[in-house]
Amino acid sequence: MALVTVRVRPGAVRTEVRVEGLDIRVSVRAPAEAGRATEEARRALADALGVPASRVVLRRGARSRVKQFEVQDLAADEVRVRLRAT
């Protein structure tokens, strides 16, 4: 299990996950209302990691741009390797 901290940018032109230095940034098209941006970020992160969305669970930051997700079945090192490959 890995804990992944990301910064979410809602209302973006396209949905994407990128690594900038040590930071993970997730841009999503959904607006920041009623949890829509959080859900899209969760699914985008799962897609970038190649795991089912059900294996990525929000742990902190439901109402914040900085969120922490738990990725089940992956170690923290594997998360970094997979994200750098995208």
| DSSP sequence for 6-27 | EEEETT-SS-EEEEETTEEEEE
Entry pTM: 0.93
H or E stretch covering 3: strand 2-9
Query: What is the per-residue pLDDT for 46?
Result: 97
What is the β-pairing status of strands 23-27 and 2-9?
A: parallel
* pLDDT tens digits, 48-62: 999 999 999 999 999
H or E stretch covering 69: strand 66-71
Tell me the domains of the chain and their CATH numbers. Answer: 2-84 (3.30.1200.10)
As a whole number of angstroms, the distance between CA 72 and CA 63 comes to 22
Q: Which residue has the tokens 């841009």?
A: 27
